[in-house]
Structure formats: C-alpha cells, structure tokens
A = this chain, B = another copy of it.
Amino acid sequence: MIAASDAPLSAACACCLPRRGFMRAVAALGAAAATGTPSASAQTAGRTPYRGPVIDCHGHYTTEPPAMLAWRKRQIDAINDPAHSPSASALSVSDDEVRASVAERQIKLQTERGISLALFSPRAGGMGHHIGNARTSLDWSIVSNDMIHRVVTLMPRNFVGVCQLPQTPGVSPQNCTAELERCVTQLGFVGCNVNPDPSGGHWSDPPLSDRFWYPLWEKMVELDVPGMVHVSASANRNFHATGAHYMNGDTTAFMQFVTSDLFKDFPTLRLIIPHGGGAVPYHWGRYRGLAQDLKRPPLTELLRNVYFDTCVYHQPGIDLLLKVVPPDNILFASEMVGAVNGIDPETGHAFDDTKRYVEAAALSDTDRAKVYAGNALRVYPRLAAKLDLAPSAP
C-alpha cells in the first residue's frame, strides 16, 4: 500500500522521499540526524550516540489548511440545517497546500530535533465529538482522516497515520468500528485515538471499562492496533482544555483501568495514556497504594497493556517518569506542534522539545532505544512494516 502511495512522489524535497528504504537512508545520514541537534548531543557527552530512529508517537495535525477548518465551520453552522451540510468532496486542498501546511512547522522541527517521524492524527481538540450528532461526527472523522492520509501519502518519510474515531456522546462505540477498519485496512493507519469523554468535559458516558466500549476494543484487538486515550476540546468552562481536561482525562482513564478487569477480557489490547500519564507517575506511590488497598493486582500487571508517552515539558518531570515507570512502558512523544508552543526562558529551548529531556535523562542505551523506537514498534505492530524494518529491530 505504501509502495503504491509512494509511486507518484517524485519531488526532490527531503520530506517527500519515499519511505521504502527510508530507515536505511536515515542510518546513512550518520549520527547527526539520529541524535539530534548539537546542543542535544552535548547533553549526551560520554554516552554512546543513539543512531536508531526516533518515533514521535503523538503528533496532531494542528496546522490544517484553512479550507479544512472552513469546511468544519460550514458543517457546524449547518448542524440544525443538514441540507446545507457540506459534502466531503466540497473540501478542496491541493497537494502543495498539504505539503506547505506541515513544511515549516512539524517537518522543520523534526529535522532540527532529530525526530525521524510522527504518528500523526487529526487535531485532538478539533475532534469535537460533542458537537452535533453521530452523522456530524462520522462526516468530520472521514474528512479528518482522509486529510491525514493525504499528509501521510505525500510525506511518508515523516508521518504515519493514526485515526480519529466518529464518537458521539450516548452512542455505542460500535459506531466507530467501520471507520477504524477503513483507516487501518484501506488507509494504512496504525492506531487510533479514543476519547474517554465524548461529551467534552461532562463525562456523561460510561467508563472505559464498561461493556459499552467492548465493540471498539474487540475491533482494535482484531485489527491489532492500539489506542491513545485522548480527550478532545472541553465544553465545560471549568476545564481548560490543554491545562486541565487533557490531564484529567489521562488520570481518570488510568484509574478506570486500575479498578477494572478490562485487560482480563482483552489481554492483547494496548492503550497509551498521553501527556506522560496525566497525574499518574507523579503519584505512582498513591496508585500502587490504592491498588493494594482495593485488592487489585499490582500496577505491574496493568503495564502489560498500558503505556505512557513522554509529553512532559520539563526535565524534572521526564526524570520522574523515567524513574518510576518501567522503560518498556514509555513511548517517546512530543505532541509537536501542540499544546505548548513557546520557548522556555529557563532553558532557551522549546518547552515541547522533549527529546532534549530524554537525552539528558539517566537512561541506559538499551532503554533509550526502547523509548525512542523499540516500544513503539512493539505497541504499534503495523508500524514496522511501514518503516521497512524487521519487527525485531531495534
């Protein structure tokens, strides 16, 4: 599939190099490309330079072409007048516009930071599952996922697709399985984002451990794709989206897993909790203690199925994450371009340049390779084939 997608690509720019053989090409670029910027390299003085791929498992399309946002606005404006809802074909964006939408941000930053590629999904805050009805959500999900597919197809070196699901409050997640299957089997996506609160901050649906969600888990297991548990925008003014709702969604989901037998019913289901796991690693002792008090299995059992990303935007946070969570359960990520865009005046570097923190952390070479790529290849089994890598490497 990727080969077919790559076929029409002949542009000379770096971001359009065909993926097949890409990793071999990365290796040929030498240590500079693989270990990041000179400053980051300086932080790793005395260590073996890491020369493998760096997979950012958490990237959203936050730089959509204006036409895509305009399409969404038209759709929302027509919520009470479906006859005027735009069709998918009404969205017209050229290949050049798609390339340009990521060239100066995501791809530039990937190059600067030494990130090989990102698992790329629609803007999380834009999913807006609480807006309109199930049809609204489905139409928007198809448009959003198709646009991700175009990004991935045009720039296969830099992006691999992860889909948005057409969730709707009060509607069975069974409703999402067809779009998930389309994205995985037809578009070549390797995972999905699962919103634990489609209501947007009112938390009106059942917890993720409820049988309400089982049709989705069944399909994910069948397709062997993991899910990132990621809320969307907040429609509750108590919750700032990226400052509260995101963190709360992460923390809430983890505790739902602690208190349930979800993974007994789905032993091969894999879920990634983003943003470094919300409050969880910071309170790892609390969660170990709660599990013990509640006569639940130790957290280590949960870690057969649950993973955390590295979207924690300062060194002490990353250090804590890497200290308390086993290295097999941490996937490199930056959510770039995402929640925090500025430069940290304390370091002079971007807050979301998480690779710098991981580089500076006390990690063995083996564990660093796991965090950068090995774990992602294990958690997203469909990813290896896309990278033209044997499943066992690195």
- Check if B247 sits within 8 Å of A251, measured CB to CB: yes
Neighbouring B residues of A288 by C-beta, 8 Å: 314, 344, 346, 351
Q: What's the Cα separation between A351 and B292 when bound, in Å?
A: 11
Other A-B pairs beyond A286-B340, A290-B339, 17, CB < 8 Å: A203-B239, A238-B252, A240-B255, A243-B255, A243-B290, A244-B255, A247-B248, A251-B251, A251-B278, A276-B282, A283-B312, A284-B317, A286-B313, A288-B314, A289-B341, A293-B340, A317-B320
Per DSSP, chain A at the interface is helix
**A–B Cβ pairs within 8 angstroms, 15 of them:** A201-B203, A203-B238, A203-B239, A238-B252, A238-B256, A240-B259, A247-B278, A275-B283, A275-B286, A288-B346, A289-B341, A290-B340, A316-B320, A316-B324, A319-B320
Q: Closest B-chain residue to A350, C-beta based?
A: B289
Residues of A within 8 A of B (CB): 196-197, 201-203, 205-207, 236-240, 242-244, 247-248, 250-252, 254-256, 258-259, 275-276, 278-279, 281-290, 292-293, 312-317, 319-320, 323-324, 339-342, 344-346, 351-352
Contacting residue for A207 out of B197, B238, B342, CB 8 A:
B238
Please, which residues of chain B bring their CB within 8 A of the CB of A205? 238
Tell me, in angstroms, the Cα distance from A278 to B320 when the chains sit together: 15
Contact A344 B289 (CB under 8 A): yes
From B239, B252, B351, give the contact of A286 (CB < 8 A): B351
A85–B70 CA distance with the chains assembled, in angstroms: 58
Q: Decide if A342 touches B282 in the complex (CB within 8 Å).
A: no
Residues of B within 8 A of A340 (CB): 285-286, 289-290, 293
Residues of B within 8 A of A251 (CB): 243-244, 247-248, 251, 278-279
CA distance A203 to B203 in the complex (A): 9
- Cβ contacts under 8 Å, A315 to chain B: 285
The 4 lowest CB-CB distance pairs between A and B, nearest first, are A285-B314, A282-B282, A289-B340, A279-B279
Instruction: Collect the chain B residues with CB atoms within 8 Å of residue A320's CB.
Output: 282, 316-317, 319-320
A99 to chain B, nearest CB (A): 26
CA of A256 to CA of B244, assembled, Å:
9
Closest to A318 in B: B285
Given contacts A248-B252, A259-B243, A320-B317, contact A283 B276 (CB under 8 A): yes
